[in-house]
Amino acid sequence: MKTFATLILLSMCVSSCAVGVRYSSPKDSEPYAVISGNDSYVYTFKEDGCPASYSYIKEAKKIHPSVPAFINYQEKIGSNHVCSMWFSFVPEAGATYKVQTSLKRAEKEKSSIFIPVFTGASCIAEVVKVDPNGNGVAVKLEKFAPVNKTCARNP
């Protein structure tokens, strides 16, 4: 129960640190990648580890290529569990990505971030690079955990 409460508190703290500061997508004249998904946010962080900006990923969104994209996925599962994951990847200019998430009773996949939620079930997230034909290839993700708890409420 302590771990559950810690995850909720950390998620709320990190989300509240970036209140009001939206992720600044690349301009039309700048290189960009595109990401889509659900129940996910894309963040940027300052050098001190505090969030600089964020945006909810609901529909296709332009993101900056060649720099890490920090993604936070959150989903309430039942009344006592929350799936909350942080991960990052470096998008390529001109590429299209999709965040895919699920609750599965499965073994760990190499390209996925795999977090046990409760006995017998795990929350799984992966980012797929989608080609023009709609085919996808899983992208290598890095686990990420925001650790700076001294962030001001508004960056």
pLDDT above 50: residue 136:
yes
Considering the entire predicted model, what is its pTM? 0.73
Distance CA(48)–CA(146), nearest Å, equals 10
Distance CA(32)–CA(27), nearest Å, equals 8
**Closest by CA position to 41, among listed 9, 65, 73:** 73
Q: Is 15 exposed, middle or buried (0-12, 13-18, 19+ CB in 10 A)?
A: middle
Q: 69 or 118: whose pLDDT is higher?
A: 69
3-class DSSP assignment, residue 5: helix
Rounded mean pLDDT of 53-81? 85
Asked if 16 and 153 count as a contact pair (C-beta separation under 8 A), the reply is yes
